Amino acid sequence: MQYDRDGLIQILEQEALQRGEFTLASGKKASYYLDCRRITLHPQGANLVAAGMLSVIEAAGDLPAAVGGMAIGADPITASIVTIAGQRGLPLKGFMVRKEPKGHGMGKQVEGPVEPGQEVVIVEDVITSGGSAIKAVEAAEAFGLKVREVIGIIDRLAGGEAAFAAKGLKLTTLTTIRDFGIEPE
């Protein structure tokens, strides 16, 4: 599947963007809410997101060993990307980061076919302050992975890019809230 940015924007508008009064995870009030699980778990939405993120990854040159992010939000994104990569014969694997290390078994926080020293990309749905993706980056780095960049579906333009830059990381998003005629709050 080719990346169709206009198609992604259209499905985000139809399925994920809700207007009204909302309280965000940070406690801040907002006039809109983005429920990206409504597109990452949607057949066309999942394909559009994966094609877009895979195009960003491929444009960077050498493929990383894997893509992944914080469970649960990044899991369908990761699965969609590795599915399309597999269909194209690309050796891109996936991993997930638990919010906390397991309390049993091997006690892992990073799960999947990755090894310390490998280069990876962190994926995320909505970028606000960047907090969730930064936690994923920190866990991946503690495991020994080398994080190349963070790729998100949509940037609320609320400080996330600066937070990643402060950590020396590049943020790329497929869209921003301005694509929907909304100015940052």
Looking at residue 160, its pLDDT comes to: 93
Q: Is there a binding annotation on residue 130?
A: yes
Q: Is there a binding annotation on residue 98?
A: yes
Q: Is there a binding annotation on residue 6?
A: no
Q: Is there a binding annotation on residue 128?
A: yes
Looking at residue 16, its pLDDT comes to: 97
Looking at residue 94, its pLDDT comes to: 98
- DSSP state, 156? -
Q: Is there a binding annotation on residue 129?
A: yes
Looking at residue 100, its pLDDT comes to: 79
Looking at residue 185, its pLDDT comes to: 80
Q: Is there a binding annotation on residue 42?
A: no
Q: Is there a binding annotation on residue 15?
A: no
Q: Which domains occur in the chain, in start order?
A: 5-180 (3.40.50.2020)
Q: Is there a binding annotation on residue 131?
A: yes
Q: Is there a binding annotation on residue 127?
A: yes
One pLDDT digit (tens) per residue for the chain, 185 residues: 678 999 999 999 999 999 999 987 777 889 999 999 999 999 999 999 999 999 999 999 899 999 999 999 999 999 999 999 999 999 999 999 998 776 666 668 999 999 999 999 999 999 988 999 999 999 999 999 999 999 999 999 999 999 999 999 999 999 999 999 999 98
Q: Is there a binding annotation on residue 137?
A: no
Q: Is there a binding annotation on residue 124?
A: yes
- 115 burial (CB, 10 Å; 0-12 / 13-18 / 19+) is exposed
How many angstroms separate the CA atoms of 182 and 121, rounded?
Answer: 28
Nearest residue to 97 via CA among 138, 53, 129, 154 = 138
Nearest residue to 156 via CA among 169, 133, 173 = 173
